[in-house]
Chain A
Amino acid sequence: MEVTLTNIRKYFGTVKANDGITFTFKAGKIYGLLGENGAGKSTLMKILSGYQAQDSGEINLDGVACSFRSPAQALASGIGMIYQDPHDVPSMSVLDNYLLGRSSGIRLDREGGKGELLDKAKRMGYPINLKTHIDTLSLGERQQLELLRLLAMGAEVLILDEPTTGISAEQKEELFTSIRRLADKEGKTIVLVSHKLSEVQELCQHVMVLRQGKLVGKSDIPCSIEKLVGMMFEEIPPRQERKSLVRDKFTLEVNDVNLESDRVSIRNLNLAIKAGEVFGLAGLEGSGQRLLLQACAGLIHPTSGQLLLGSEEITRKPYHRLLNSGVGYLAAGRLEEGLVAGLTLLEHVALSDPDTGFVINRTHFTELTKTRIDKFKIVGIPSTMIDALSGGNQQRALFALLRTPLKLLLLEHPTRGLDVRSTDHIWQLLFERVKEGTSIAFMSADLDELVGRSDRIAAFSGGKMSRVVNATETSAEELGHLIGGEQ
């Protein structure tokens, strides 16, 4: 199916998310859609997949003008999209998820659905267990199920939104193989939305680049990375040169620790991080890295083993104690687990400051907040509501609320959803702390970030930690394999 977008416009108030985009996707080809955060990729694909309506412009499928008022309508016309977090129902079984939304009769035909799903899965080469519930599956498996569902509903055009974030190297290979087969053998049109240049080069045949809502470039692959980067950015972002700031004493020691959660269990984990070291934790969602970070923060406790902060035993200490002992923790969900929507910047500063007296001294905190705003380059004033800030500024605000000095800083996905400029700035701030002797342990799904910013890295898979590698001696490929479970 050939898809033609003509002059697609979508404005959110004064923000021009999509500003007159025209492009044609031909059948049987794989396209890459590149752009920084905020360039408009997501918006465009949401419009194409029926999730949102465009303000103006046309969508033509095989020459016929179409307009969709819902994703289901778009799917009925042949366009399906797989989201980064697939839209499935975690508490339902695999089979029920597959059957959801098919209007075939009143009674749920589980038997028929079973046969159909197993059959399709076999054709694509995916192993699936029908009885399990979605919330026990990995992201890669959920993607596979979504793909099966879309194909079963007759999708001719498949849009994949950042599909390789959070899946193992093996799963990525499987995915790419499937995509190639769907395009070559079955004539589907595939659009891959990504910010990973290497993957786009590997998989796609053509690429379109968005910047600030406009289509600024297109190219056929093969094409050099510099050319792609040049189209994506106005200037090439500077490469961070790093010298090692690692000191000689240990900040964190994890000795024979066992951790349990609903999804994963970690056994006999041993790890040691030195002062001034940046330690990267790689791995799929739910492999245990988050569990480790939470245990080090005192949010959960090991069932056995020992955690040492410097020379102090912190195994059973609660979170607030550790907060006061120099441990900082930033969760991934900024507004869900970190900031309080409805409070201002000043109120956040006053709230997180351990020296706030019973009565709040407004003048003092106004000054303090202004200082932090300057230091962390936050776009806002003390009385700005935290939810009025952009994602990047919210992340900066979170960093501004951390205490100083810190012995250990634990970060979940510190730069998720941020553009290159914000990411660089955040890491500049982080390295200033590292210079002062803070140890950082962070988890990330971005292998380039892990390799580029860490001193040492370890990968988690199914609760097991791989060997620890030096960042200067490893590569994204090697990490990808470690994540998949190789030792």
Chain B
Amino acid sequence: MLLGVALIVFFISHLLNPNPALLWAGPRARPETIKAVAAAYHLNDPILNQLYYYFQSLLTGNFGTDPQTGRSILSEILFYAPNTLELVLASMLIIIVLGVGLGYISGMRFGSKVDSAIRLFYLSTWSTPYYLGAMLALLVFSSYVPLFPSGGNGTVGFTYTPITGIFVLDSLLQANWPALQSGLYHLVLPATTLALLSFGIVPRIMRSSILDTRWSMHVKAARARGLKEGEVRRKHILRNALIDTTTVIATTFGWLFSGTIIVEQIFAWPGIGQFSYIAIVSVNYPVLVACVFVFTLGVIVANFIADVIYPFLDPRITLGEGG
């Protein structure tokens, strides 16, 4: 799968590119420089040889050197990726809590005013472009009501030794409370924006699976057995409904990644979304390849985690009762 994606990226980046060496060497480079750059990146070789180099570098986890900064791409990725991970995980947390919660309420109060209001809310956020949401968040919560900082991830002014590279986690591990506070403070606005604008499908699926299970026989049976209402709701309705929702939450990971491109741009978040955008507009395809690789890896890992969670949610697999 990953290899297939790598193949697509390779063909698109190589077939569409007229002459990247020209761009990488700069507009006023001498012809010798351009030739040297082309040779360094094997650009004059036949396409199959390039494919070979490409896969060799991918499989060894060595993405090469960034033709624009001259640094190793791997080190750049390792710098940017944790920041994005921090943002995406924080959004994920919000999505899970809010999405599942709203979907649950909406499903349990089917047909009521609350239901319509919740549905209107998630359908509208779903059709809001990321840039609009981010701009409004910035305007309202950072300019008109200056509650939160407008950009950055809060690392400025703090010396910290990276353990995981995730600022909030690092400062928590090292018990550096001011740094933790600054990190969280900077995280709130971008993470909430990203979460609210991507979560639309989660409450929707949650709601429809609640509606599916709510009147099903096993729930009736549970009530007939005289279980407490709370227990019925928790163990028989919510748990069943979470199975489909888990799948969907895993797919929202992909959207979160697309969202980071815009949100990181607007909130000046030094993450991989911004990094890949810069790579894209400057036709810097070694970096682009690395970014797509990381994104794809993220999506695959998310799906894997969902697969691991299923057995815990589905009593037919673990406990063999209910169901």
The answer to whether A and B come from one shared complex is no
| Chain A residues within 8 Å of B, Cβ to Cβ | none
| Chain B residues within 8 Å of A, Cβ to Cβ | none
